[in-house]
C-alpha cells in the first residue's frame, strides 16, 4: 500500500515537473488545438476586408487590355459609331501573337475590348447587327472574343472582357430598350466565354454620336440610367461570381483617377465612394478627388487599378510607333502601381492587320525580362530578424515569416504593442535599391506607416519611409545601398501583421525603338501671330509650360511658317499640369499659302483628352503646301472662353 502510494506521488511529481518545464510548448498546442475555445490567438480583423476574388486579383498584379475595333482602321482614338462594318477585315489577325507578347511581358491576364464606344461588337451578338457577323472578316462567321479567350487559355492567361456602356452607333441609346440590350450583351459575354476574371466598364456615358444616322448629342442620367446595382452588376455576380467588376467607383476595384498608371504615394485599398455634387456614386458620376489616394479606414475594400496605354493612345496609330513605352518606363509604372498596392492594366493596340507592332512586342519582352531578373533573388533571404515583441512568443507569428515568400504567413505583435521594432542581420553585406513590404491583407490594411533604418558608421541612420503598405509596397531608393544590418519600425492603430520584407537590385535594361522617321518642323521656323507675349510658350519645346489666352473674338490661333512647306500633321499638346482650363475637345484646322484664301484641312474631336492628356496628332487629308495654319478650338472641357496649349508642332 505504501509502495503504491509512493509510485503515485512520484508520478504526479514527474507530471508537474514536465508541465513546468514545457509549459510554453504545451500552451501553444493547447491554444491551437481544435478543442480550444477561449478566443482567437490571431489578431482581430481590422476595417474593410478583401473578398476572395479581390485576394486573387491582388496576386495577379499585371494584366492587359486589348483595344481593337473599326476605330483602329479609322486611325481614331474614339470611334464615332459611323464606321461601315466592311472596313473591319484584318488579314493577319493572330490572337496567339498578342497573348504570347503579354506572357513575355510577365502579364497574367488579357481583357478583350468586346465593344468600345463605337458600338461594334467583336462577337456575333443577338442584340445588334453592328458586329463581326456583318463584316467580311471570316465571311461574317468569326468571333474575335472567342479567339482572344482561347489564346488566353492556351498561354496560361486569365481572360476578361470590356463592354462599353456608351454606344455611339445604336439608335436606341438613351432609351430603356438600349439598357435592356446592353444587359443582354453582358449576359452573353458572362455565359459563353468560360471563366471571366474581370468585367470591365468605364465611366464614358453619353455625348455626340452617329446613333443610326441621327448624328446628335444624347445625354443620360448616369446615376439611374443603367441601374448598375439593381439590374446590371447582379448579372456578373450570378454568372461569374469570381469576376472582378471594374468601374471608376468599383465595386471591386476603382479607377486610379488618371491614365498614367500611377497611384498616389499614399494609396489606401479602402475607399468611401463619393458622388458628384452630393449625388450617389455611380460609374461616370463619381467625385474623382479621392480615387488616387483611397481613404484611410474607408468603408469598402476597393483597391486601385492603374490603367495606362503602352503607347500615348489606347488605339493603334502609325505615327506613334516610335512612342512605345520602354521597359524602363513600364518598370517605373509598375513601381508606382503594383508597388503602391494596386494592379497594373496595360493597354495594347494591335495594328489594322491584327497583330502587335514589333516595337510593342520587343518592349514587352524587355519589360518581362527586367521584372524577372529584378525579382529573381530576394537579398533579404537568409536574414536573421529579432523583434522587440512577438505575439504570444509563438512561432506562428515569428519574424521568420517575413522571409518565407508566403503572402499570408506573417509577423505580428501582441495587441498592446502597436509600434514594434524588428532588427535584421542580413546574410553578409548586400547591395540593393528596392525594398518590398507586404501585409497579410486577409486581416485588413493595418499599418499606417513604416520607417526603415540602416546600420552605418556604428549607428542607426534613416533610410526610407512609406505609408499605406497593404498587399504590396515597393520603395525605390535614390541610389543603391550596401548594408548588413537594417531596422524596421512599424506604426499601426492595432497589432500589425507584416507578411514580407524583401530586398532587390533593379536589373538594367537595354532597349532601342525602331524610329518611324517623322520629321518635325523646327519650331524656330514657326511663329504665332496676332498673339500676346506669352504665346512663345506654345513653341518653346517645353511641354511643361502653358500658354493661356482668350482668342480675342477670332476664335482661332494663327501660325506662320518662315516659308511655305509640305505639312502632313498638326500636333497639339494639352497642358500637363493636371488642369483642364482651356483644353479643347473639338477642333478644325485651316491652311493658306498667302494668309488670305483659306481652306479646311481637318476637323474632328480629341477623344479621351480629359483622362489621357497626351499629344493629339491631327492627320491632314493629304500633305498640304501651306505657310499659314489656323487652329480653331470648337468646344472645351469645363467652362469659359479661355484656350490653353502646352505645345504646337507641325510635321512633314
pTM: 0.88
As a residue count, the chain comes to 652
Residues 514-547: pLDDT tens digits? 766 668 898 889 999 988 889 899 999 999 999 9
pLDDT in tens, 276-309: 888 889 888 899 999 999 999 999 999 999 999 9
Dihedral angle of Cα 509, 515, 516, 517, to the nearest 10 degrees: 160
Distance CA 568, CA 622 (A): 6
pLDDT tens digit sequence for 541-574: 999 999 999 886 678 999 999 999 999 989 999 9
Q: Check: CB of residue 403 under 8 Å from CB of residue 383.
A: yes
User: Which of 402, 326, 332, 398 shows the shortest CA–CA distance to 366?
Assistant: 326
Distances (CA, A) of 93 to 77, 83, 600: 20, 19, 36
Q: What would the 3-class secondary structure string for 610-645 be?
A: CCCCCCEEEEEEEEEEEEEEEEEEEEECCCCCEEEE
Which residues touch 589 (CB under 8 Å, ≥6 apart)? 570, 600, 601, 602, 603, 618, 620, 629, 630, 631, 632
Among 417, 442, 452, 440, CA closest to 498: 440
pLDDT at residue 593 tops 50: yes
* pLDDT at 32 exceeding the cut of 80: no
The predicted-structure confidence for 257-270, as pLDDT tens digits, reads as follows 999 999 999 999 99
Tell me, what's the pLDDT at 316?
97
Q: What is the mean pLDDT of residues 171-187?
A: 98
The string of pLDDT tens digits covering residues 60-77 is: 999 999 999 999 999 999
Q: 2-21 and 23-31 helices cross at what angle (nearest 10)?
A: 80
pLDDT for residue 552: 65
Question: Is residue 6 over pLDDT 60?
Answer: no
Number of H helices, E strands in the chain: 10, 27
Per-residue pLDDT at 437 exceeds 70: yes
What's residue 518's pLDDT?
Answer: 66
Whether pLDDT at 433 is above 70: yes
Share of the chain above pLDDT 70, in %: 93
State the DSSP string of 550-578.
E-TTT-SEEEEEEEEEEEEEEEEE--SSS
The Cα 350–Cα 73 span in angstroms is: 11
pLDDT at 517: 63
CA distance 136 to 86: 6
Mean of pLDDT values over 629-635: 92
Cα–Cα distance for residue pair 161/410, rounded to 1 Å: 35
Max Cα separation, the chain? Answer: 130
Amino acid at each position: 500500500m505504501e509502495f503504491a502510494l509512493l509510485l503515485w506521488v512520484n508520478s504526479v511529481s514527474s507530471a508537474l515537473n514536465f508541465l513546468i518545464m514545457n509549459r510554453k510548448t504545451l500552451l501553444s498546442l493547447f491554444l491551437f488545438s481544435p478543442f480550444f475555445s477561449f478566443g482567437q490567438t490571431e489578431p482581430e480583423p481590422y476595417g474593410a476586408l478583401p473578398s476572395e476574388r479581390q485576394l486573387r486579383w491582388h496576386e495577379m498584379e499585371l494584366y492587359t487590355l486589348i483595344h481593337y475595333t473599326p476605330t483602329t482602321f479609322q486611325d481614331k482614338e474614339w470611334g464615332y459609331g459611323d464606321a461601315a462594318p466592311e472596313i473591319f477585315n484584318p488579314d493577319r489577325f493572330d490572337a496567339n501573337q498578342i497573348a504570347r507578347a503579354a506572357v513575355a511581358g510577365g502579364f497574367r491576364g488579357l481583357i478583350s475590348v468586346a465593344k468600345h464606344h463605337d458600338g461594334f461588337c467583336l462577337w456575333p451578338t443577338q442584340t445588334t447587327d453592328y458586329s463581326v457577323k456583318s463584316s467580311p472578316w471570316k465571311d461574317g462567321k468569326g468571333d474575335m472574343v472567342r479567339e482572344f479567350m482561347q489564346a488566353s487559355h492556351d498561354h496560361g492567361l486569365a481572360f476578361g472582357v470590356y463592354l462599353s456602356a456608351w454606344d455611339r452607333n445604336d439608335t436606341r441609346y438613351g432609351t430603356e430598350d438600349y439598357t435592356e440590350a446592353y444587359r443582354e450583351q453582358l449576359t452573353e459575354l458572362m455565359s459563353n466565354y468560360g471563366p471571366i476574371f474581370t468585367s470591365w466598364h468605364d465611366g464614358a456615358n453619353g455625348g455626340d454620336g452617329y446613333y443610326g444616322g441621327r448624328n446628335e448629342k444624347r445625354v443620360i442620367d448616369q446615376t439611374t440610367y443603367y441601374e448598375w446595382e439593381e439590374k446590371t452588376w447582379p448579372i456578373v455576380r450570378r454568372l461569374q461570381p469570381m469576376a472582378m467588376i471594374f468601374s471608376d467607383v468599383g465595386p471591386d476595384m476603382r479607377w486610379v483617377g488618371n491614365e498614367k498608371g500611377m497611384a498616389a504615394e499614399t494609396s489606401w485599398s479602402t475607399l468611401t465612394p463619393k458622388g458628384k455634387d452630393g449625388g450617389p456614386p455611380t460609374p461616370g458620376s463619381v467625385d474623382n478627388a479621392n480615387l488616387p489616394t483611397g481613404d484611410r479606414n474607408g468603408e469598402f475594400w476597393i483597391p486601385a487599378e492603374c490603367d495606362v496605354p503602352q503607347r500615348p493612345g489606347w488605339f493603334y496609330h502609325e505615327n506613334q510607333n516610335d512612342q512605345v513605352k520602354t521597359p524602363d518606363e513600364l518598370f517605373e509604372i509598375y513601381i508606382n502601381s503594383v508597388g503602391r498596392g494596386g494592379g497594373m492594366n496595360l493597354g495594347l493596340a494591335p495594328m489594322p492587320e491584327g497583330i502587335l507592332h514589333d516595337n510593342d512586342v520587343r518592349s514587352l519582352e524587355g519589360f518581362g525580362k527586367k521584372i524577372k531578373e529584378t525579382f529573381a533573388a530576394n537579398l533579404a533571404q537568409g536574414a536573421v530578424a529579432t523583434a522587440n515583441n512577438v505575439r504570444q512568443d509563438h512561432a506562428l507569428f515569428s519574424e521568420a515569416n517575413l522571409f518565407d515568400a508566403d503572402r499570408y504567413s506573417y509577423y505580428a505583435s501582441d495587441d498592446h504593442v502597436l509600434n514594434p521594432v524588428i532588427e535584421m542581420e542580413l546574410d553578409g553585406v548586400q547591395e540593393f535599391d528596392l525594398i518590398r513590404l507586404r501585409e497579410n491583407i486577409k486581416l485588413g490594411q493595418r499599418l499606417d506607416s513604416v520607417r526603415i533604418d540602416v546600420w552605418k558608421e556604428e549607428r542607426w541612420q534613416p533610410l526610407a519611409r512609406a505609408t499605406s503598405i497593404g498587399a504590396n509596397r515597393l520603395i525605390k531608393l535614390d541610389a543603391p545601398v550596401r548594408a548588413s544590418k537594417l531596422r524596421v519600425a512599424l506604426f499601426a492603430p492595432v497589432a500589425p501583421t507584416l507578411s514580407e520584407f524583401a530586398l532587390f537590385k533593379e536589373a538594367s535594361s537595354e532597349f532601342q525603338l525602331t524610329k518611324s522617321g517623322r520629321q518635325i518642323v523646327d519650331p524656330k521656323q514657326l511663329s504665332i501671330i496676332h498673339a500676346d507675349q506669352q504665346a512663345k510658350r506654345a513653341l518653346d519645346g517645353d511641354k511643361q509650360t502653358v500658354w493661356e489666352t482668350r482668342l480675342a473674338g477670332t476664335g482661332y490661333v494663327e501660325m506662320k511658317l518662315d516659308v511655305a512647306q509640305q505639312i502632313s500633321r498638326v500636333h497639339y499638346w494639352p497642358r500637363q499640369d493636371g488642369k483642364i482650363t482651356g483644353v479643347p475637345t473639338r477642333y478644325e484646322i485651316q491652311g493658306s499659302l498667302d494668309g488670305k484664301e483659306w481652306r479646311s484641312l481637318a476637323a474632328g474631336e480629341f477623344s479621351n483628352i480629359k483622362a489621357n492628356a497626351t499629344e493629339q496628332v491631327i492627320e491632314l487629308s493629304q500633305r498640304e503646301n501651306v505657310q499659314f495654319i489656323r487652329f480653331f478650338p470648337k468646344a472645351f472641357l469645363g467652362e469659359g472662353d479661355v484656350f490653353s496649349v502646352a505645345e504646337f508642332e507641325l510635321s512633314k
